[in-house]
């Protein structure tokens, strides 16, 4: 695995790269026309005739360079479609960066905590994180009695683990982003993206958006210890059950809301564990939907009475 790391304004940005080896690989992009074609394909996948017209290069020359780069695995067929009775192949670069490594030079251990990004997790975190910047409030329940049922929040501290995950994908924002649910309501701060931690009793903002969630809490019978799935109609009543959901904000157009909550605080912990440690299982069936939710159940695998793993229920 090879990565290109660049530093901009004291921030590090990373993208996957490929080392070009062999004379033919180097020759395939040494030509200025070949590089122009490669950059054109990076801008958007295209079939050769379309690219030739867009770049004003002879079509046969485009075919020649694309075939050469395809042999060296610098470009590949991304998709195919029928155009004018023929099958058009849309090409794109195989990586977003290419490099030539010389067989000498000092090599040291990287101290920056790089990690390979999970594309589905990154997609789920948008627009809460955009271009390496946190673009959202993180809203936790107030620790004092509040709301209609005067409940104290006991799950706000789980936001710390959530923050560790968010920090791997974003820089520290200039403004303080953590807010209590009562402050959001008092200050009328509904016009932002929000990540809500805690269920309908401990977080009054979760209670307000609950009816819009694809997996929601049943608020017919106090103390609301049931999760109902809109998709399957199934109900979940275990205290260790929780939800991870993302919806378009009902308060502000073009904003989004994420909800990480449980039937009780153990369920909220399970939801946080799922998002931060088991996201590959969580997002296995996620396809970038703006309105999406899943149900998880916390498990005690080591037998100490505490939730330490999760199972995806749906």
Residue 219 is part of a domain; what is its CATH number?
Answer: 3.30.379
The DSSP-derived string for the chain is -EEEEEEETTEEEEEEEEE--SHHHHHHHHSHHHHHHHHHHHHS-B-HHHHHHHHT--HHHHHHHHHHHHHTTSEEEEEEEEETTEEEEEEEESSS-EE---S-S------S---PPPHHHHHHTTTTEETTEE-SEEEE--SSSBTTTTBPPS-GGGHHHHHHHHHTTSBPPSS--EEEHHHHHHHT--SS-EEEES-TTT-HHHHHHGGG-SEEE--SSTT---EEETTT--EE--TTEEEEEEEE-SSSTT-EEEEEEESSHHHHHHHHHHHHH-HHHHTTT--S-SSEEEEEEEE-SSSSSS--EEEE--
Residues 190 and 278 in one domain: yes
Structural domain includes residue 195: yes
Query: What is the CATH classification number for the domain harbouring 53?
Result: 1.10.10.10
Q: Is the pTM of this model over 0.75?
A: no
Whether residues 87 and 132 fall in one domain: no
165 vs 2 pLDDT, higher one: 165
The answer to whether position 27 is within a domain reads yes
Query: Domain count of the chain?
Result: 2
- Confidence tier at 8 by pLDDT (50, 70, 90): confident
What residues make up the domain containing 75? 2-99
Mean of pLDDT values over 291-295 = 97
Residue 155 and residue 91 share a domain? no
Domain co-membership, 60 together with 173: no
Residues 78 and 159 both lie in one domain: no
pLDDT at residue 121 is higher than 80: yes
For residues 66 and 135, membership in a common domain is answered with: no
Please check whether residues 41 and 84 belong to one and the same domain: yes
Q: Which residue has the higher pLDDT, 155 or 277?
A: 277
């Amino acid at each position: 695995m090879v990565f290109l790391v660049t530093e901009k304004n004291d921030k590090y940005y990373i993208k996957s790269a490929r080392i070009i080896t062999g004379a033919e690989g180097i020759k395939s992009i040494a030509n200025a026309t070949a590089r122009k074609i490669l950059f054109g394909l990076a801008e958007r996948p295209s079939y050769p005739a379309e690219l030739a017209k867009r770049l004003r290069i002879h079509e046969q020359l485009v075919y020649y360079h694309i075939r050469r780069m395809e042999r060296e695995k610098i470009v590949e067929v991304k998709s195919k479609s029928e155009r004018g009775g023929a099958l058009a192949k849309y090409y794109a670069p195989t990586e977003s960066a290419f490099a030539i490594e010389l067989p000498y030079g000092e090599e040291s251990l990287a101290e920056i905590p790089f990690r390979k990004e999970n594309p589905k997790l990154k997609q789920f975190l948008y627009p809460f994180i955009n271009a390496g910047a946190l673009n959202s409030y993180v809203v936790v329940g107030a620790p004092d009695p509040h709301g209609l049922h005067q409940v104290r929040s006991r799950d706000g501290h789980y936001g710390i683990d959530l923050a560790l995950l968010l920090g791997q994908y974003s820089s520290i924002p200039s403004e303080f982003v953590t807010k209590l649910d009562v402050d959001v309501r008092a200050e009328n701060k509904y016009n932002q993206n929000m990540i809500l931690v805690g269920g309908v009793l401990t977080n009054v903002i979760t209670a307000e958006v609950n009816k819009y969630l694809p997996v929601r809490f049943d608020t017919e019978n106090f103390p609301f210890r049931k999760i109902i799935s809109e998709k399957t109609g199934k109900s979940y009543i275990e205290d260790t059950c929780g939800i991870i959901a993302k919806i378009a904000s009902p308060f502000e157009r073009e904003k989004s809301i994420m909800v990480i909550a449980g039937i009780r605080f153990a369920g909220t912990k399970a939801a946080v564990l799922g998002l931060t440690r088991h996201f590959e299982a969580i997002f296995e069936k996620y396809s970038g939907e703006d309105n999406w939710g899943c149900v998880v159940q916390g498990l005690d695998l080591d037998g100490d009475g505490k939730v330490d793993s999760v199972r995806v229920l749906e």
